[in-house]
Amino acid sequence: MDSDEMLQALRRHPLAMRTTFGHSLMLMYAFEPALLRPMLPPGVELDTYQAPDGGEYGFVAVGVVSAQHLRPTVLPAGWGGDFLLTGYRIVARFSRTRPVGPCAGSTFCAATRIGGRCRSAATC
């Protein structure tokens, strides 16, 4: 199964899931744009900040959340597992010169690395 097939399988999860979210933490980190740009797919550009000192920065958001009793909805909570879920997003936007996807023209979208390849995922 290649990464495209895996992504489609994950989007079409056969079972509805249930959980209780516990604590969560979100952190935002600033990086030099040259470090982040290679991670973005074609048609997506890094959204940057120009600092007063002349420096330019791109941002990565990292989120961590505890999921308690995660399980298919048909099972009782006692059969569920407790997990620490993590994820990251590179703050980016679709290129104005080359709009693609369902959020063409939006100002905030994210790129996610899935299966070793970048995919764009709209968060707008």
Domain boundaries, the chain: 3-121
The region of weakest confidence among 51-55, 89-93, 99-103 is 99-103
Greater model confidence, 3 or 104: 3
Handedness of CA 10, 45, 41, 65 (dihedral sign): negative
Greater model confidence, 58 or 108: 58
Specify the DSSP element, H or E, that contains 81: strand 81-94
Q: Could you tell me the pTM of the whole model?
A: 0.59
Per-residue pLDDT tens for 11-47?
666 788 899 999 999 999 999 999 999 999 888 899 9
* Mean model confidence pLDDT for the chain: 78
Distance CA 66, CA 22 (A): 5
What pLDDT, on the 0 to 100 scale, is given for residue 37? Answer: 94
Do residues 82 and 106 lie in contact, with contact meaning Cβ atoms separated by under 8 Å? no
